[in-house]
Amino acid sequence: MSFSAPIDNAVEITTERYAAILGATPSKGARSPTLWNAAFRTVGVDAVMHPMDTRPEVLGEVMAALKADPRYIGGAVAVPHKQTIGAFLDRLEPEAARIGAVNAIYRDGNALVGANTDGAGALSQIETLVGGPETLKGLRATLVGLGGAGVSVAAYLVGRTGSLTLANRSRTATNEAAERFGAVAVDYPLSPEVLAGTDLLVNATTVGHQDGPPGSPVAENLLEAMPDGAAVYDVIYQPRETPLLAAAKARGLATLDGLGMNLDQAVIAFDKANMGMLSLDQIREAMRAA
């Protein structure tokens, strides 16, 4: 049967259940349907993810139709709806509320719940990098960059590290984020003193794509100030080895790029919507194969 809400592309729903990615034009190449549908095949359930091209002015009507349809289990949210879709959901997970953006939805009974799995995906990878959540709890973390990705990661590091320090080119943005998350604000570029007190450095800026501005950790080799045994995580995954990660490896620090985060945000979203039908490792393997 066709979906009756006013989306801009026809959707024929023939499965017992379905998911959706809502955005401006996800029908023109969004990656989520490929990943989710691979996992559905692995689960062996009669379900599919549909891209739904949705204009902002009809978002509320579309969400009402999805909520009223018990076949809808949740899905993904793309631009330009991440900051506005929360108004049409029954509740938000605490991290999504702190971030102020939703990129995943799942059904909990008759309620639709908003989540933000970008930060959750990063957290999963960071825990792998440092040796697990218990190890992370004892680390002094410094996060650089407070755009969408950086704020998402900050929301998931709060309360999960020994301390959290934030830096951004705009000190106003740094101060606002530090107040929101209960973190420490410092200037960017980072000083040797800050890096000397950093066990985990997380980059969420474009410095990963380039050599960086004067005073960046790469340009000035400030990574020399970091303690032995420290770790560097970069949310960027193109290129896989950024100048920052190359410098960290040369320094002998543990490193990890953002490719796994990109996959795990979809893995975690699928797991929430499908209520543990597969383990995270099984979902990850199915999506990686796709």
User: Which residues are known to be catalytic?
Assistant: 82
In contact, 162 and 137? CB cutoff 8 Å? yes
Checking DSSP bridges between strand 140-144 and strand 163-167, what pairing results, if any? Answer: parallel
Helix H, strand E, coil C: the string for 164-182 is EEEECCCHHHHHHHHHHHC
Which of 4, 268, 218 is closest to 117 using CA atoms?
Answer: 268
- The neighbour count for residue 44, using CB atoms within 10 Å, is 9
- 114 forms bridges with which residues in the sheet? 92, 105
The contacts of residue 165 (CB under 8 Å, 6+ apart) are 140, 141, 142, 143, 183, 184, 185, 186, 194, 197, 198
User: Cis ω on the peptide bond leading into residue 189 (within 30° of 0)?
Assistant: yes
3-state class of 235 per DSSP? coil
Across the chain, where does the E strand assignment appear?
Answer: 17-23, 47-53, 72-77, 91-92, 104-108, 111-115, 140-144, 163-167, 184-185, 200-203, 231-234, 254-256
Q: Which residue has the tokens 């950024």?
A: 242
In contact, 119 and 155? CB cutoff 8 Å? yes
